[in-house]
Amino acid sequence: LNLTAHFTLAELTASDYATRTGIDNQPIDPAVLANLHLLADGLERVRAVLGQPIHISSGYRCEKLNAAVSGSRTSAHLKGLAADIHVPGITPRGVCLRLSAVADAIGFDQLIFEGSWTHIGFPEADAEPRRQILTAIFKPGRPTTYVGGIA
């Protein structure tokens, strides 16, 4: 099922972890399906700005999958509104810098430099994008913390 010209439902729900562990990550909630269309629309804008295909390593996560990968309980991935992306030939930091420069055009809710990937989240249909830009700080044995901007 194509959500937009370049993104399929399969791409936005695929999870190696879910496949490996037998978790059914298919969304059934119509609100999540509607959000996945918003996510695909947002990713189209990202693709257009970067001028090349982007790889999605994690989009929608059901409760079970999100818990299994230690995702935040309030993660936008749970609502189908966020994706973790990689862009061939551009470092995650480079992706974050390029997208943060065009925050208004992309209309992201949150852009997070996660070190080895980029997290991008979009607002729900009736919400304004916060255009929040953060960097995740990972410390072994401690919860992840976030600082403002691209560190």
Residues that bind Zn ion (CB under 5 A): 84, 119
**CB 11 → Zn ion: shortest distance, Å?**
15
Q: How far is the CB of 59 from Zn ion (least distance, A)?
A: 9
Closer by beta carbon to Zn ion, 115 or else 149: 115
Other CB atoms within 10 Å distance of the CB of residue 151: 13
Backbone angles phi and psi of 146, in degrees to 5? -130, 140
Angle, CA 89 vertex, CA 119 and CA 113 arms, to 5°? 25
Nearest-CB residue for Zn ion: 119
Q: Which residues contact 115 (CB under 8 A, 6 or more apart)?
A: 92, 136, 138
Distance of alpha carbon 86 from the chain centroid: 10
Residue closer to Zn ion (CB basis): 84 or 109: 84
- CB closer to Zn ion out of 47 and 119: 119
Q: Nearer to Zn ion by C-beta: 5 or 45?
A: 45
Smallest separation, CB 15 to Zn ion (Å) = 12
**HSE-up of residue 128 (Cα within 13 Å, Cβ side):** 2
CB 39, min distance to Zn ion, A: 12
